[in-house]
Amino acid sequence: MYNMRNISTWLSISLELSMLWPCVISMNFVNIPTQEMKLANHVRVKRGWSWEPLYVIEEQEVKNPIYVGQLKTDSDGHDGSIKYVLFGEGAGTIFVMNENTGRISVLQKLDREEKPFYTLRAQAINRVTNVPVEAESEFVIKVLDVNDNEPKFNNEPYIAEVSEMSPKGTRVTQVIATDKDDPTHGNNARLVYSILQGQPQFSIEIKSGIIRVASQIDRETKDQYQVIVQVKDMIGDAGALSSTTTVKINVLDVNDNAPKFSLNTYEMTIIESSTVGEFVGAVLADDIDIGHNAEMIYSIDERGDYSMFNITTDALTQEGIITLNKLVDFESRRRYNIRVRAENKYNTALFDTATVRISVSNVDEPPVFLEKEYFMEIPESATVGSYVGSVTAKDPDGTDIMIRYGILHKKYSRPFEIHPNNGSIFTIKSLDREADIWHNITVSATEAKTAAYVSYVHVYIRVMDVNDNSPQLQNLPDIYVCEKSRIGQHVHTITAKDKDEPKLSHPFSFSQPPEESTSANFTITDNEDNTATILTAQDGYSSEDNPLFYLTVIINDNGTPSLSSTSTLTIKVCDCGIDNNTESCGKRGFLFYFLNSGAVIAISVFILLILVLALLVHIRCRKNQNSLNEKGEDLKENIVKYDDEGGGEEDTEAFDITGLRHHTVMRERKPKRPLRTDIQSMYRLSLGLGPDVAIFKEFLSEKLEEANADTNVLPLDYLHCYALEGTGSPTGSLSSLSLTETNVSEADLYY
């Protein structure tokens, strides 16, 4: 193999040399004579360089200098008077020149991929005069390529997809390789592709590397292929170098398979005490398609005992859940037969059927949970009725006994409920992670036949956080700004907090409403570390003109979706003194700033008005009291006392109330009026023991006539005004009305 590679390499070099040999470059350069030459000979002599093509084969092991080529000038008479000098890239280290003959040799191994050519300069000098006989000339030594680099694939690893049942020739993907060798030199960099593994399902285009489907593929037979692709240089000839790569091709599913029951006949058991709607059993049809293509719907054919049971499709497990539709009785009937049907959800032509035999029996064994404890998670944003997880308990005897699930309803388990038939836990209340992160509940599994057989298992439910709390300002003290503040001066730094987890809500951003940012007295600068700085937006503030400012702050979190809150800050203007320090502002209190605003004058005026009003009221009251004392008219009132509870009508006594006046006026006692013994009291009348209606009417008429004839008693519809508290009272009159004015006549008092 190694000899064949060397032979191929030397053949390529020989071919290249034979192609380039006729292209020997002869260059004539104009020799610029020196001043001495012009003096010696006034005739310009045309000189010229000539040399062989200069090439070096890469990767040659150099033990002794290897001849590359020769430079010579037509001025050289071969008498030893000309000295050749070499300059440029690698001169003296990689390349050397014989100063007598101009022969150039290489001293070390070269690599074309590192440097494909070298640019050098040569000069011919007269040994005696040390004057150049030829102008300095530039030439190139080219490094010839050999096939010493294997091709490499780009963009590895390769992963592609193709749908099953794709027609032949369908493009799958393309692999691309590159070769560092010289693409212009022979076939060293000409690549060809081939498949070492993956046929006959796939093929590859030899030049482009495009992989195509070569035969029909079935995902249900094989859903992934490892295709090994090889690339060779030198168009695959002898001595070519190669490399391989693996292309992983995933086969995508199409809906081309019908559901298939694992059994033709299913045996199930139900206890006779089961209620309508209880779980009977589950059937499962397998669809070898995947994803949506494997979804199916279950139904019961209308034959046999189909009306005794219902079947529904569990969207999570794709099982057919059979429930009881009518009550069963073990003594009446012990076996039922139904035919269930499973058909593809999106193609009803794809279906399968099976027979279900349901036996009625009793088993008195406690259920056993499949796991010792359960761990579940649910986001706090889950709506009421959201599915959390399922627990499963089986009968240890291996019989299909109906099992009921329940939750021991303690305080911490109230947000959850469990489906009594299939053990599915779902929410019945909204969750809040900030209130409770973990919920520990105890689930019971009870045999439907015998409630005494109960098993318990602990279920730990973790509430996952969502961004449902808006950020709020934190630790907000009184904020002051000095009257002598300048624009852009720091006022206060505010911070925010959020009940949500930091990874959901941080960082916060602070801003002002657009309508306030254009004409604001203060500005907010977001520090991008969950804090913001309040800066002044004007020069100077006045506590007399405007002692308070209100600044609206909008805080947004970084959650999805983003939540925000709006807070209004109160900034108080303070006379910070000579040192312009706000530390003393809080000690003065708010009353200091309020009084500074001119409120002292308003308070003083208000107090003065109250004093004047009180003085006027006092003078008015004294005047009314004096007028009443000077008037000699008696104001009297009768107090009628009925004292007939014990039987019999007692005389009514009139009491003189002149003693309530400051100046007592004696009143003549009136003769005692005769009493009517035939008139009973109102209490007796209420008991139905009173006189006749005619007698009572006569009594009222007499009283009315007597009242009309008495001129010393005020009319009943007259406004009675009591101007005095009573004899000896220091308070005086409490009434705002006065009947003792001198312009009130005696007739007016009665009428």
**pLDDT at residue 523, rounded to an integer:** 82
**pLDDT at residue 45, rounded to an integer:** 42
Which residue intervals of the chain bear CATH 2.60.40.60? 20-144, 152-252, 260-360, 368-464, 472-594
Neighbours of 84 (CB within 10 A): 22
Q: Check residues 631 and 61 and name the one with the higher pLDDT.
A: 61
Between the ranges 282-286, 572-576, 671-675, where is the mean pLDDT highest? 282-286
Q: pLDDT digit string (tens) for 691-711?
A: 556 777 788 888 887 777 766
Token representation of residue 545: 């003109």
Residue 45, phi then psi, degrees to nearest 5: -105, 130
pLDDT grade for 197, boundaries at 50, 70 and 90: very high
**pLDDT at residue 751, rounded to an integer:** 39
pLDDT at residue 458 greater than cutoff 90: yes
The sheet carrying 192-197 orders its strands as 158-163, 242-252, 224-232, 192-197
**Secondary structure of 540-556 as H, E, C letters:** CCCCCCCCEEEEEEEEE
Q: pLDDT digit string (tens) for 480-502?
A: 888 878 888 888 888 888 777 77
Mean pLDDT value across residues 140-168: 88
Token representation of residue 346: 């999106």
pLDDT at residue 277 greater than cutoff 80: yes
**pLDDT at residue 3, rounded to an integer:** 44
CA distance 5 to 11: 10
CA distance 226 to 233: 23
Cα-based distances in Å from 79 to 75, 102, 124, 716: 11, 14, 14, 170
**pLDDT at residue 652, rounded to an integer:** 46
Q: What is the DSSP code (8-state) at residue 132?
A: B
Confirm if 501 and 462 have CB atoms less than 8 A apart: no
Cα-based distances in Å from 507 to 308, 497, 510, 527: 60, 10, 10, 10
Between the ranges 43-47, 79-83, 298-302, 411-415, where is the mean pLDDT highest? 298-302
**pLDDT at residue 99, rounded to an integer:** 83
CA distance 597 to 709: 72
Residue 311, phi then psi, degrees to nearest 5: -135, 135
CA distance 349 to 257: 10
Cis peptide, bond prior to residue 367, ω within 30 of zero: no
Residues 6+ apart with CB under 8 A from 8: 147, 234, 237, 238, 239
Q: What is the largest CA-CA distance in the chain?
A: 189
Between the ranges 451-455, 687-691, 719-723, where is the mean pLDDT highest? 451-455
Q: Which amino acid is at 643?
A: D
Give the residue among 114, 168, 120, 176 at the shortest CA–CA distance from 145. Answer: 114
Q: What is the DSSP code (8-state) at residue 487?
A: T
**pLDDT at residue 312, rounded to an integer:** 94
Give the residue among 505, 647, 658, 480 at the shortest CA–CA distance from 570. Answer: 480
pLDDT at residue 600 greater than cutoff 80: no
Lowest mean pLDDT among 73-82, 95-104, 233-242, 668-677: 668-677
Strand partners, 56: 143
Mean pLDDT value across residues 675-679: 49
pLDDT at residue 192 greater than cutoff 80: yes
Q: What is the DSSP code (8-state) at residue 289?
A: S
Identify the three-state secondary structure at position 645: coil
Residues 6+ apart with CB under 8 A from 333: 360
The reply to whether CATH 2.60.40.60 applies to domain 472-594 is yes
Confirm if 214 and 199 have CB atoms less than 8 A apart: yes
Q: Check residues 274 and 738 and name the one with the higher pLDDT.
A: 274
Residues 6+ apart with CB under 8 A from 733: 621, 624, 625, 628, 723, 724, 725
Q: pLDDT digit string (tens) for 339-379?
A: 999 999 998 889 999 999 999 876 566 788 999 999 999 99
pLDDT at residue 111 greater than cutoff 90: no
Strand partners, 161: 250
CA distance 749 to 371: 103
Q: What is the DSSP code (8-state) at residue 21?
A: G
The reply to whether CATH 3.60.15.10 applies to domain 260-360 is no
**pLDDT at residue 190, rounded to an integer:** 87
CA distance 510 to 565: 10
CA distance 696 to 436: 82
pLDDT grade for 586, boundaries at 50, 70 and 90: low
**Strand ranges (DSSP E) for 518-591?**
522-526, 531-536, 548-556, 564-574
Give the residue among 100, 144, 91 at the shortest CA–CA distance from 120. Answer: 91
Between the ranges 121-135, 142-156, 168-182, 412-426, where is the mean pLDDT highest? 168-182
Q: Check residues 543 and 640 and name the one with the higher pLDDT.
A: 543
Mean pLDDT value across residues 267-274: 88
pLDDT at residue 337 greater than cutoff 90: yes
**pLDDT at residue 499, rounded to an integer:** 76
pLDDT grade for 432, boundaries at 50, 70 and 90: confident
Cα-based distances in Å from 508 to 160, 495, 562: 42, 9, 10
Q: Check residues 193 and 729 and name the one with the higher pLDDT.
A: 193
Lowest mean pLDDT among 9-13, 196-200, 596-600: 9-13
Q: Which amino acid is at 37?
A: M
Residues 6+ apart with CB under 8 A from 524: 510, 511, 512, 532, 533, 534, 535, 551, 553
Lowest mean pLDDT among 144-153, 216-225, 683-692: 683-692
- Return mean pLDDT, the chain: 76
Architecture of domain 20-144: Sandwich (2.60)
Q: Which fold has domain 152-252?
A: Immunoglobulin-like (2.60.40)
What whole-number percentage of the chain has pLDDT above 90?
23
pLDDT grade for 638, boundaries at 50, 70 and 90: very low
pLDDT grade for 423, boundaries at 50, 70 and 90: very high
Q: Check residues 386 and 238 and name the one with the higher pLDDT.
A: 386
Considering just the CA atoms, what is the radius of gyration of the chain in Å?
A: 59
Between the ranges 132-136, 428-432, 664-668, 744-748, where is the mean pLDDT highest? 428-432
Q: Specify burial of residue 311 (Cβ count, 10 A radius: 0-12, 13-18, 19+).
A: buried
**pLDDT at residue 734, rounded to an integer:** 52
pLDDT grade for 745, boundaries at 50, 70 and 90: very low
What whole-number percentage of the chain has pLDDT above 70?
73
Query: What's the start-to-end Cα distance of the chain, in Å?
Result: 151
What length is written for the chain? 751
CA distance 297 to 356: 16
Residues 6+ apart with CB under 8 A from 651: 672, 675
Identify the three-state secondary structure at position 614: helix
Between the ranges 445-449, 519-523, 561-565, 715-719, where is the mean pLDDT highest? 445-449
pLDDT at residue 280 greater than cutoff 70: yes
CA distance 23 to 16: 12
* DSSP tally for the chain: helices H, then strands E: 10, 44
Give the residue among 296, 329, 291 at the shortest CA–CA distance from 314. Answer: 296
Kind and range of the H or E run holding 152: strand 152-153
Residues 6+ apart with CB under 8 A from 129: 36
Q: What is the DSSP code (8-state) at residue 145?
A: P
Lowest mean pLDDT among 54-63, 348-357, 719-728: 719-728
Kind and range of the H or E run holding 591: helix 590-594
The sheet carrying 171-174 orders its strands as 171-174, 210-213, 202-204
Find the Cα–Cα–Cα–Cα dihedral 584, 587, 590, 592, rounded to 10°: -70
**pLDDT at residue 283, rounded to an integer:** 94
pLDDT at residue 401 greater than cutoff 80: no
**Strand ranges (DSSP E) for 563-649?**
564-574
DSSP string, 86-100: EEETTBTTTEEE-TT
The reply to whether CATH 2.60.120.10 applies to domain 368-464 is no
